[in-house]
Amino acid sequence: MSMMTLPIKCFGVFRKFGESLNVDIAVGSSVLEVKQALIQKLGQDQKVLVEESVLANDNEILPNVYILKEETTLSILPPVCGG
Amino acid sequence: MNGIKALVSRDPLSLQDAVAYVSDTGHGAIDTFIGTVRNTHEGKAVTGITYDVHKTLAEKALWDICAEAQGIWRATRYYVAHYHGTLDIGGISVVIAVSSPHRAESFEACRYVIEEIKKRAPVWKKEHYIDGISDWLPGHSLSSEAETSVTCCGHCGEEAHA
């Protein structure tokens, strides 16, 4: 199984973990699997927050079924409260 | 689509820029909204707010919201700007201006834009309190376009516009 490292930029409440996080995951994993890997990395006490958040690239928010075929920088976007 | 300017800025937001952009000789109404930092939240004394923003996606979200509004209220023009950084009490966090031939469309479209921003723009607030503690505020979960239905204008009673 070929692995890749995904840098994930942190926003909002995720900034407590730093500017970005690296997640090691199999090539061809889904966004949902990346979120599950994030929960493993951050701990079960972050499970609800991660599940309520979305992952995005620099163009769009990615659905949970989106397949990541190569290394790319993502962002984790927690629930928003602009205005 | 013409008549939309959407931006995120670390510089002070300008109501004059907003009004100038939406001004149109064929429009008889300009409605504006200015969001400012309030000095209390849920009984706690607030000293300021830091706005964290995903600039690229936020500008896209702001533009998309205006484009949707323009699809509902035709012949309208939009300027929307959101602040990125830390503001003291009274600081301006968001400026919206909408112009239209008649006033009703401007009022309704402006309200639509700010309500959608609160639900969809990738912006986060960290409130700073007088006791030195700071907290990120809870908010609305985002979803991908593939998982989102079109938002209704709130007047027609339908789940989504065609």
CA-based radius of gyration for chain A: 12
Residue B162 in this model has a pLDDT that exceeds 50 = no
Nearest Cα residue in chain A from B146? A63
pLDDT digits (tens, 9 = 90+) for B102-115: 999 999 999 999 99
Q: What angle do CA B125, B50, B131 make, to 5 degrees?
A: 95
Q: What angle do CA B138, B79, A11 make, to 5 degrees?
A: 30
Mark yes or no for CB contact A77/B142 under 8 Å: yes
**Of B14, B151, B28, which Cα lies nearest the Cα of B95?**
B14
pLDDT digits (tens, 9 = 90+) for A13-48: 999 999 999 999 999 999 999 999 999 999 999 999
B153 touching chain A per CB within 8 A: no
Higher pLDDT, B133 or B162: B133
Mean pLDDT computed over every residue of chain B: 92
A17 touching chain B per CB within 8 A: no
Nearest Cα residue in chain B from A65? B146
Alpha-carbon distance of B88 to A66, in angstroms, equals 40
Give me the interface pTM, i.e. the ipTM.
Answer: 0.95
